[in-house]
Amino acid sequence: MMAHILERYFTNEKHVDLTDRLCEATLKTIINHAHTVLEDPTNYHARAEIMWAGTLAHNDLLNTGRVGDWGSHDIEHEISGIYDLAHGAGLAIIFPAWMKYVYKHDVNRFAQFANRVWDVEIDLNDLEKTALAGIKKTEEFFRSIGMPVTLNDANIGGEHFEEMAKKGTERGPLGNFVKLFEADLLEIYRLAE
């Protein structure tokens, strides 16, 4: 669910302030209630907040006025297609690797994400540092809720990287934020190790 929101958040569209804020609020709601739900699955209020966030993540409201990326979903599908790994777990692995690979395309957007979602103070002298801190916080959150954040965490080796990169791009490049080709997917898989 979180990755569905992140896929929409990282866009090249400008002047999407309202949907940026809706995405950020939905992400923060998930972050704020995920541990409560894991610790007490009977907590109705926390579960209701997560479910409402899930509804927004999947009904396309958060995509209004913007073109989402969706490249990481297709990259992950190649993992699920070979290994017995749930799509959400695969996204927890691939999304941070994707972020590390593409953040320089729009460091400002990644710094905004770090600040608004993770409360990372913006370093105006080093936006890259701010962006990387947000990526690290994303990984830490996934790990804190029991998700794997590397392929090694999921006991997946690199023996199929070339095959997955080739198959993933056989119909053309993936993604909209940054167009990704076979060599790009290979690097993202390596970053995910």
The stretch 141-155 carries a mean pLDDT of 98
* Fold (CATH) for 69-193: Dehydroquinate synthase-like, alpha domain (1.20.1090)
The number of beta carbons lying within 10 Å of the beta carbon of residue 128 is 13
Task: Show Cβ contacts of residue 53 under 8 Å, excluding neighbours closer than 6 positions.
Answer: 1, 26, 29, 30, 33
pLDDT at 81 over 90: yes
Cα of first residue to Cα of last residue in the chain, in angstroms, is 23
- Helix then strand count (H, E) for the chain reads 9, 0
Percent of the chain surpassing pLDDT 90: 98
pLDDT at 1 over 90: no
